[in-house]
């Protein structure tokens, strides 16, 4: 029986997704909930589990292609699947029903899809170095052997897989060279350089290369340009920022803060062995100060509901932390941040950073948010005018900590200074309210002991 799997609704009103890479090819036998492909939505890279047990008949999109929700993605021959030895006919019929992990189904078996090795035709007149293999559609560069190593999916992070896709490198072949360890960006670059050198010396009879990667550049000698398709997170971010900039009237206030006492507190906390497992830095203290200041200034933690004609003040803080990744800017959320202790915030920030860098932030972790922080200080920048994430009334930019001469206790002293920049929606936040919020955050950072008064 032939079953067609269409791209499901991945949540949050997303209407399309780009196929990052296929993990199966036609002819593979897969089991329920095994990963078929990685797709990139406007918010995250998502693994698609198989809704059927059966044999892959056809793939309806290539790696790099954007697919609309509801469009055919993959076809299965369910009747061609071999049932488990103890399975009865009724069980096989139940397994044939589409049940995705995350949509209410429990997996019937684990593991990854197993690919069938394919031998090159005997009449193929190419050298071993330029031999062509049948593999996933994203494979492009010629391998170093006539037969691929087949088995488990190579270990790597989504940014590395995306980089390999852009270069046309098959990670299976990289794994065969480096052994059983996680593939890095350097491994991909080294493999591409080696194979590129071999390919340049191959004869004209060598097999044609696969389609060029999506990123294109002008040839050497011309006035160089690089064309990068606008899609995925970059496309979503651009649309959201334009919508926000031309919908909410932005106002930005700046305040330079003496954070010497905060930095001294951080040094004391880091020296405490009982806190060694928690990475407490300036951003953690800023996040704590923001949560406390929002309690006193609820208009900065609100949403403008145009349709209902209402201002919705939130009595909780879902704190967004802007993160720069290889895929673009994302803003994952720390839920109920106001309830977390200093160490709880530190742990949440550390986990958020690890997940974002690995490219594994899910759409659910990016949804919502009532107020955001962007840490431009890590780039050595002092101040900026951040754009509000859609639906939020405030965002705080945190500048770099610098030693500067400053008036302190009636004298000029070398102090550690930080500039804070808060942008807010002037429809629901007056200048006085925005200024009070910024002053509250500054006071808490100038004198951390004031937190005892809140």
Positions annotated as catalytic residues are: 426
Task: Kindly report the backbone phi and psi dihedral angles of residue 345, in degrees, each rounded to the nearest multiple of 5, phi listed first.
Answer: -65, -40
Half-sphere exposure of 152 (CA within 13 A, CB side): 10
Under DSSP, the state recorded for 183 is B
| Cβ–Cβ < 8 Å for 10, 85 | no
Q: 72 phi and psi, to 5 degrees? A: -60, 135
Phi/psi region, residue 297 (left: phi>0; alpha: psi -120 to 50; beta: rest), is beta
Q: How far apart are CA 335 and CA 348, in angstroms?
A: 9
Report the run of H or E that residue 411 belongs to, with start and end: strand 411-425
Measured between alpha carbons, how far is 35 from 114 in angstroms, rounded to an integer? 11
Paired tokens of 453: 């008064």
DSSP 282-298: HHHHHHHHHHHHHHH-G
3-state SS, residue 281: coil
Q: Of 352, 358, 357, 347, nearest to 372 (Cα)?
A: 352
Q: Cα 130 to chain center, whole Å?
A: 35
């Amino acid at each position: 029986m032939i079953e067609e799997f269409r791209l499901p609704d991945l949540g949050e009103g997303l209407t399309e997704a780009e196929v990052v890479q296929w993990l199966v090819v036609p002819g593979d036998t897969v089991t329920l909930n095994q990963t078929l492909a990685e797709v990139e939505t406007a918010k995250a890279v998502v693994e698609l589990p198989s809704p059927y047990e059966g044999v892959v008949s056809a793939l309806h999109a290539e790696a790099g292609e954007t697919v609309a929700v509801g469009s055919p993605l993959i076809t299965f021959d369910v009747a061609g699947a071999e049932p488990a030895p103890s399975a009865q006919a009724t069980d096989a019929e139940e397994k044939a029903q589409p049940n995705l992990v995350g949509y209410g189904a429990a997996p019937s078996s684990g593991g990854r899809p197993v690919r069938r090795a394919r031998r090159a035709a005997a009449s193929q007149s190419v050298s071993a170095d330029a031999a062509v293999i049948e593999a996933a559609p994203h494979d492009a560069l010629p391998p170093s052997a006539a037969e691929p190593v087949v088995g488990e999916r190579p270990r790597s992070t989504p940014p590395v897989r995306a980089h390999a896709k852009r270069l046309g490198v098959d990670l299976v072949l990289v794994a065969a060279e480096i052994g059983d360890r996680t593939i890095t960006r350097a491994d991909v670059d080294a493999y591409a350089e080696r194979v590129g050198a071999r390919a340049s010396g191959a004869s004209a009879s060598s097999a044609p290369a696969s389609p060029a990667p999506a990123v294109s550049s002008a040839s050497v000698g011309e006035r160089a340009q690089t064309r990068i398709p606008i899609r995925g997170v970059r496309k979503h971010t651009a649309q959201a920022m334009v919508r926000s900039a031309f919908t909410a009237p932005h106002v930005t206030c700046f305040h330079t803060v003496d954070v010497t006492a905060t930095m001294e507190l951080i040094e004391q906390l880091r020296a405490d062995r009982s806190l060694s497992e928690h990475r407490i830095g300036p951003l953690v203290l800023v996040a704590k100060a923001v949560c406390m200041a929002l309690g006193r200034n609820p208009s900065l933690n609100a949403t403008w509901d145009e349709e209902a004609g209402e201002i919705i003040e939130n009595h909780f803080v879902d704190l967004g932390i802007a993160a720069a990744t290889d895929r673009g800017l994302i803003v994952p959320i720390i839920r109920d941040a106001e309830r977390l202790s200093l160490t709880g915030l530190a742990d949440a920030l550390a986990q958020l950073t690890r997940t974002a860098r690995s490219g594994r932030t899910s759409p659910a972790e990016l949804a919502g948010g009532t107020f955001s922080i962007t840490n431009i200080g890590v780039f050595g920048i002092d101040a900026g005018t951040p754009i509000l994430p859609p639906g939020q009334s405030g965002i705080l930019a945190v500048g770099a900590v610098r030693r500067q001469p400053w008036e302190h206790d009636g004298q000029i002293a070398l102090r550690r200074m930080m500039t804070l920049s808060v942008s807010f929606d002037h429809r629901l936040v007056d200048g006085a309210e925005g200024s009070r919020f910024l002053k509250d955050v500054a006071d808490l950072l100038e004198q951390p002991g004031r937190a005892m008064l809140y």
